[in-house]
A and B are shown apart, each in its own frame.
Chain A
Amino acid sequence: MATTSKGHFVYIPPQSKKRNKNALNWQNEELWYRSYTNIWNSFESKLKKISEEISMKLINDVVQFVFDYEFTDEFIPVATIFTGINLSDHDNLFSIILTEMQNKVNGHVVFLQPFQSMKLKYIIECVVSGFINGNNQILADGETDLENINMGRKVQYSLSNLHDWYKNSLKSKSINSDSLKLIIVIPDMESFPNTILQQFLLALSVYKERMPFVIILGVATSLNILHSSFSVDVLSKFSLHLFQSQSSTIFLNTVLEKVFLTSDCPFQISGKIFALLTEIFLNYNFSVEEFIRGIKFCLMNHYIISKVNILLCSYEEISNITKTLSENQRTEVSILPSIIKYKKKEQLPDDEILETKLIEKLLKELHEHLSVFHVVVRCIHAFTKSLPGSPLGTHVREIYIEAMDSDICRTETFKKCFILLQHLSKDEILEKLEITINILKSSENYRFYEIIQKLSNFHETLEKSDLCRIVESPIKSPRKRSVAVSTSRSEFKQKLLININQEKKLSEFEVKKNEFFAFLSEEFFKPFLKSPSNFPLNEVMIFNRLDIIKQNFEAVPRASLHHAMFNPYRYLKCKCCKSTKNETLKSFPDICIAYKLHLECGTRINLYDWLQSFSYIVDEDNRDNEEINPQVQYPLIR
């Protein structure tokens, strides 16, 4: 009898893997998948580079500290890194630290990650086995490590084992043995139970004279937590060194400026979605990784929602891809709202299918405009970021959000900016102008050659112009100013008012300045800052489905619960529940019916009435019957 209960194994059929592979192959062949991976890979490589660059200073500091630290008998060095609360980004940072350590410091590194229901014994065993066996990713994923621990149970690692091992390895290595270090990285202090971490550190402190431990501690909140979670006893055994990591907002800004808000990447996100994603970032989680995931989601969705979107590709590939367009796809392109607008403008017939050549031309135009657009957004940022009150925001992303969806040059804030700009001093204007010219030059776009020429001319004239010399203003005031000769007080007042309203005489500099700003707003910003979303074919390059993003990124539990109860078809997607009108069907789940009936009543509900109407809907056959079927009654009572 006993044997029968034993034979339960999960059997995974071997074919499943093959099928998966087939599916992958199929995906690889699809054009859209290829261009998707292309774009995403280019994103990823850039992101990796940037995240390394940003955290490089901190990492170098930490590594240098570990490298330089000379061991005394008294204390264990603890490098405390304040990482900020973006928990998901930490892994990245610490993995970089890990690799850097392994490259530069002569020592062994162990990574200690929080583990549920852990005990001191396990931690010590893990750390020691990590040092001895040389696998530094301890506890990274639970299962394999449990196996390791079980394997190691026979040996039972303890710190004295580690000491023996350390002495042995010193003997065998003989060269450079002085600087051999044992580094323990604890990336997230808060998630460890206090007492256990404390005991662990105390246990380490026993060996502080004999083994050179270095602890790297990631703290998410503030220094206070160290004081509140460790006793004096523990703290007195360590020498703490503090390191502050870059705040994640700076990180986000650089990521945005260098990766997403550039013309190199063909994929663009509409301003509203962008605003939503940054809002989530700033208001809720501070996690750059999450933000990037959001953009990845946008990119995936972009390819999925419409087949036309395979046209999204880099500038060089446009002609190749437009050639492969099928008839169907061309018709689909032709009914895009922006194309219909374009047709009206060009007075083409509405049902005409666009030629591949034309599509190519339009796409290239859009590409070119975008490449100019991004540079000019940066220029305008250079001009407006330090204005008092910063009407256009202090970051590039804020201007981008404004400019992407509508023509920024027509907005009130833009005009306000220009009024404020007029009040700037000569030096400030010259400085800003220089920055702008530099930005334009570094972009190396042929369309800017003329502009650069003109701007540098302005720079010259402005620099030479005198602040004091008065040039006759073009409009001459007809009346003479005679304030002195006045008969009465009221007359005097009136004259003063007139004097104020009269045009002041402008200095040479001011005249030139006005010319310059007129040029800036009319000839420079206006044509180049035209919103890309007004261009034909913008749907292909700009992802603007705010509804999808909202649905996926702003989860509202109560509202979605209500929707599910009110209209089960939304989630169940079964034929029986499909109802066009606001009606309650028999086929709905019981709970939905009960909920809908409950909604119909006001604040209070009579239980008997509720039951009656419930049975009226569910039990169609017995409608006339006064008695209620207990089978019907049961779900409601439950």
Chain B
Amino acid sequence: MKSVMKKFPGREQQIKLIWKLIPENNNERVYSSFINLFGPSGTGKTAIIRHVLHLKKKRFIFINCYECCNLRQLCTKILRDLFKKNEEYFGRINSVLDFVTCLRKAGPLSLRINFIVLKNCEYLGTSVFELFMYLQKFLQCEGWNFCIIFIIDQFVNTLVKGYSYTLHFPQYKKEQLHDILLLKRPNYPQELYYSFLQAFLPSVYHSERNLNILIRLVDFLFPIYKEPVDQGKFLMNDVSNLFRNIRPYLQGSITDVFLLRNRFISDNCEKVTNSLDLPYTTKYLLLAAYLASFIPSKYDRKFFCKKSFKKKQKKFSASTPHAEITSLVAPKSFPIDRLLAIYFAIIHEHSNVSANLLSQLTSLVELKLVVVAGNTQENLTNPKYKCVAQTSLIDTVAK
């Protein structure tokens, strides 16, 4: 147990409990047939439980619920992994009863403890949780020695109640993270790494606490941090200068954590994120859609009427602060007629409504910049739309 604790600093209490919950002897009955491990992702739930089960040499299967979203898939997966046999051996499983008969058919289970670890249980549907309700009864009747461990990131209402035991994994504290990160990368130069973490953690701690992502960031940033030291530009303890060196990368990586794996990409990243190549009219159509969904229709006459060009000029200056206020509100839906009216008001030239133009509207819908609002079947004659493009995107398009 001590070794486990050393490996996972900051989790001593949880490890102690888990250690107690899992019996030493294989023939012993489990204390609770359901254990919930609950806490945000990146707090060591999976790693600890796997490690402990491994150390205690228990027979266990590990299933990630991402891949099985319904009852049948989950059951077949459990049976498959438990008995190492093909699906055809068990046939189709449509209900809990099928599952139990299959378990019976497969042979005696009561002799040894079987652990089933289910990860990401929040992806399971409510119907699947019923399975466990029934299973609980069956386990009692048949005397099977089962222990199902749920690992849950988010709180789910349908968690198995009753005989389950819930263990909470809280977020790591700053010092704990520091210790863990030191532990995780033992081959980095100790002193430099230590000073790096000293500077790095406070700056990201507010935005990111997920351990996996932090490790990733460290892997990305530390080589850059180290580089000037290797080249001899700065001294090892010149933290402020060294940190200034990685600041641009750090800032970028807080917003786009997952893109900055490659350093070369980060340079032209800005260009790629904001460029959107749209045909000429589509650009205007998108702008019109944006204006239509964020400016209330009562201002239409004021902004878009063709009385004078001066007013039109005014519109552009007036709409920007206005949009800032309204962008806090969700976009409103607008009928297609209004969209076209605004479109012709901003494009300054008169042309007919052609099929090409209308097809561009559908392509915008396809690109998920504009969405159809309301029931599509009801509104064949006068469909309504909403513009869901981001303001930053609109800004670049408008330029």
Contact = CB atoms under 8 A, between A and B. Distances in A.
Contact of B354 (A124, A206, A227, A556): A556
A557 B358 contact: yes
Contact of B258 (A158, A220, A238, A281): A238
A347 interface: no
A531 B34 CA distance: 87
Nearest to B283: A283
Contacts of A247: 277
Given A191-B366, A228-B390, A286 B272 contact: no
Contact of B367 (A221, A239, A556, A559): A221
A284 B277 contact: no
B290 to A, nearest CB: 14
Given A85-B363, A239-B258, A240-B261, A284 B357 contact: yes
Nearest to B77: A160
B55 interface: no
A548 interface: no
- Chain B interface category by residue count: 35 or more
Nearest to B278: A85
A221 B282 CA distance: 13
A238 B280 CA distance: 35
Contacts of B392: 224
Contacts of A224: 273, 390, 392-393
B180 to A, nearest CB: 16
A159 B66 CA distance: 11
Interface string A554-573: 11111100000000000000
B259 A223 contact: yes
Contacts of A242: 259, 265, 269, 272
Contacts of B363: 85, 87, 285
Contacts of B355: 554-557
Contacts of A199: 66, 69, 123
A521 B354 CA distance: 42
Given A220-B367, A233-B41, A241 B258 contact: no
B393 A222 contact: yes
B277 A285 contact: no
A85 B363 CA distance: 8
Interface stretch (B99-107, B183-191, B194-202, B210-218): B210-218
B275 A285 contact: no
Contact of B261 (A124, A232, A239): A239
B65 to A, nearest CB: 9
B271 to A, nearest CB: 9
Interface string B39-58: 00100000000000000000
A387 interface: no
A156 interface: yes
B306 interface: no
A95 B202 CA distance: 48
A234 B229 CA distance: 35
A64 to B, nearest CB: 14
A283 B284 CA distance: 10
A137 B369 CA distance: 29
B258 A286 contact: no
Interface string B68-96: 11100100110010000001000000000
Contact of B360 (A191, A205, A239, A284): A284
Contacts of A536: none
Q: Which of B66, B212, B363, B369 has the most CB of A within 10 A?
A: B66
A84 B368 CA distance: 14
17 contacts: A75-B261, A85-B363, A158-B67, A199-B66, A203-B66, A205-B66, A221-B276, A221-B368, A221-B369, A238-B258, A240-B261, A241-B261, A241-B262, A281-B279, A282-B280, A284-B360, A285-B356
What are the 4 A-B residue pairs with the smallest beta carbon separation, nearest first? A555-B355, A202-B66, A206-B64, A223-B273
Interface of A: 74-75, 82, 84-85, 87, 120-121, 124, 156, 158-161, 190-191, 199, 202-203, 205-207, 220-225, 227-229, 232-233, 235-236, 238-242, 244, 247-248, 280-286, 554-559
Given A229-B368, A284-B281, A554-B356, 8 more contacts: A158-B68, A199-B69, A223-B272, A241-B261, A284-B279, A285-B356, A556-B355, A557-B358
